[in-house]
Structure 1
């Protein structure tokens, strides 16, 4: 499984690199490039998406793929709502809340049932997707932009799984403490993000 996670992470990052190289102003950035960059350039999105991966890794078993897959599916649905101009209330609060809740779940080592973990992360994904959808550049292709932010998000989930696995390898007790400390740091960052919104 560790080899699979590493291979998937490297493949996702390798796929994103050519796009990142052309994502600077004046180098023909398109909808796909904007979509890839959106989750990578916002600390709130970045932390939440890495946290989804760490949380899924912490749960293990089927959660390792089911939690990130649920997040991706419902983020796509939220993105479509945003592109269509359908309002979703409290989006920014929901995004900050996702960072706090996911970081807190990791910090506390919560062993949530799979259905609960999928439902909670899926709810948060709608907020993230809606924000992505409403911020699509006017000239961008919706499909290319959506594919870009989905691929970047999947790469961040894999990075979270890889990070959690790497930290966990430092020794069972010490590794668990380091993973939980990472979750606590994410939750504190989420509180700071929420304070900046209010």
Structure 2
């Protein structure tokens, strides 16, 4: 197959997933909340990336990053529930995919003072989007579902990141995964 055709097809698939990522939820429930992070490629990649990135950190930062993400995501949903709008939510989500992918691709280790606010800021956008897609129902059960799904995706990324051996080949593979995630973020941004 022609490489250009493959790249164009991949780009179109990734771009279309953003438009189709968030089906309307007529009745918000625990299960619709559980499915929301799994149904959007942008959310899925960002949440796996948080786990992958956290796995390569040291000490308490390994758990602080995913925890901060989940808590800030719930705060973002709370802001939405209060009617407080965030600017450029979809662009914020796409930027989270791009930046987290770049952090993994370059094996960057930010200090906790920089990493926590960065991850928390990204999570606010994800939480706000989750609330915007909620539909009718109670926020508590819906939020419990998307918080659990997010924690599971963080855990999956973390386990993969910790499972991969510290060989040169494995590091290259992880960096390639980060580059793929960053590339998807660039496509989501329309770059």
TM-score (norm 1): 0.80
- CA RMSD of superposed structures (Å): 1.3
What's the CA shift for 1:30? 5.4
What's the CA shift for 1:101? 0.1
Q: In the alignment, which residue of structure 2 is the partner of 1:15?
A: none
Q: Are 1:144 and 2:141 an aligned pair?
A: yes
CA distance in structure 1 between the aligned counterparts of 2:94 and 2:31, rounded to whole angstroms? 24
Q: In the alignment, which residue of structure 1 is the partner of 2:61?
A: 63
User: Which has the higher mean CA deviation after the structures are superposed, 82-91 or 183-192?
Assistant: 82-91
**Structure 1 unaligned runs (5+)?**
1-28
What's the CA shift for 1:129? 0.4
Match of 1:119 among 117, 120, 142: 117
Q: In the alignment, which residue of structure 1 is the partner of 2:90?
A: 92
Contact 2:98-2:183 within 8 A present in 1 as well: yes
Q: In the alignment, which residue of structure 1 is the partner of 2:9?
A: none
Aligned pairs (5 A) from 1:49-198: 49-138=47-136, 140-166=137-163, 168-169=164-165, 171-195=166-190
Contact 2:28-2:135 within 8 A present in 1 as well: no
- Encode CA deviations 1:114-173: one digit per residue, 9 max, x unaligned: 1211110000000000001111121x221000000000000000010012123x22x422
Contact 1:100-1:189 within 8 A present in 2 as well: yes
Q: Which runs of 4+ in 1 moved over 6 A?
A: none
Contact 1:39-1:149 within 8 A present in 2 as well: yes
**Structure 2 unaligned runs (5+)?**
1-26
